[in-house]
Amino acid sequence: MHFIPHLFASTLTTVNNFNQTLRILLLFVLVFGILYLGAPVFIPLTFGAILAMLLLPVCHWLQRRGVNNGIASLLSVICLLLLISGVIFLLETQLSDLLQDLSKIEKRVASLIEGVKSYIQNSFGISKAEQQKMIKEQQGGGMERVTGLITTLVGSFAGILIDAILVLVYTFLFIYFRAHFKAFILRLLSRSNRETAKDVLQNASSVTQSYLGGLGLMIVMLWVMYGIGFSIVGVKNAIFFAILCGILELVPFAGNVTGTSITVLMSLAQGGDSGTIAGILITYGCVQLLQTYILEPLVVGDRLNINPVFTILIIVVGEEVWGIAGMVVAVPLLGIFKIVCDNCEPLNDIGFLIGPPREKKSDEGNFLTRLFKKSS
């Protein structure tokens, strides 16, 4: 009977562990519920915090040269604005050339639609008049729908503009008051945990800067490669579509496919032949090979140290919670969360779960990475 106390103690420990796991799961559900309901508030706030972390090196560089904190924070945001304005100006220049061919594109689209109608008539026996009648029935209240669409677009643009201004304001405030916010977080913790908290804050900022900086450099490289490839295969306004494909890389997994699909569709609308379409797809394949096996290991690397399964999962969850914005910020936020898990004992097991397998190290599994690192 001496084993009964040990059995009771073991059962009690199991129940306590189960209760702790259940509390953590309920906390996750509560957090995601709050994020979903408070999306209009939290999305600009999150982008502002992430951009502030990205711009901290610029602010520190200015302060080391004698610029006070307020001016350095403002100049950091201005640098970000100039960068975004440059990309928008380049896109606008290319878009103006694209709009000049709008009438040709409309004729080409009309020709493609006519070809589809002819195919339906020949294959399914539905005359063009019947097809047009079916389209009109589906488009009942067409003018009202167009008016509603225009109103929605105007409202969406106004909302995006307001959110963009909020993001810039939040970015400036987070940079300017960073010491105050850091002191507040440390005040919430006991003295014995403050050094660990400082390490967590430092690591979270460094990982975010490293990941986003590497991602930005990789996007610029993608612009160059897509631009060269699209120009060689004869895509009209190749620079515009190269920039578009690179920017959409901010949305992991889905972005590059979306950009290439838009390029293919627009090339068809502009009169591109099968050779041009094949060239676009070949360019996409070559760029993806270079990106996967050279650019990502060398430029971005395994900065966030996250298991690919949870990378995909958090992107799906981010899209469900915050839409496209959630897909963009999901991966760096998961990286920050993993750092917290690794330094918080109750969450160590979760940090282990979302991390990569311990026996597989990123720098050892890629021959090209080892080759380039040895030569550098």
- 171-215 per-position pLDDT tens digit: 999 999 999 998 888 888 777 778 888 888 888 888 888 888 888
User: What is the separation, in whole angstroms, between the first and last Cα of the chain?
Assistant: 67
Structure tokens at 57: 């090196």
Cα–Cα distance between 52 and 211 in angstroms, integer? Answer: 14
Q: pTM value?
A: 0.73
Q: Using an 8 Å Cβ cutoff, are 293 and 362 in contact? A: no
* pLDDT above 60 (res 375): no
Question: What's the gap between Cα 362 and its chain centre?
Answer: 22
Band of pLDDT at residue 247, cut at 50, 70 and 90: confident
Confidence of residue 100 (pLDDT cuts 50, 70, 90): low
pLDDT at 103: 64
Tens digit of pLDDT for each residue in 130-175?
A: 767 766 665 554 445 545 545 554 555 667 788 889 999 999 999 9
Q: Which long-range contacts (CB under 8 A, 24 or more apart) does 359-365 make?
A: 362/297, 362/301, 362/302, 363/302
**Stronger pLDDT, 350 or 361, i.e. the higher one:** 350
> CA-CA distance, 103 to 101, in Å (whole number)?
6
Question: Chain-wide mean pLDDT for the chain?
Answer: 78
Cα 96 to Cα 99, 109, 250: the distances in Å are 5, 19, 24
At residue 154, the pLDDT reads 53
Q: Is the backbone of residue 141 left (phi > 0), alpha (psi -120 to 50) or beta?
A: left
Label residue 8 by pLDDT band (50, 70, 90).
low
DSSP secondary structure string for all residues of 230-282? HHHHT-TTHHHHHHHHHHGGGSTTHHHHHHHHHHHHHHHHTT--HHHHHHHHH
Does the structure show a pLDDT above 50 at 376?
no
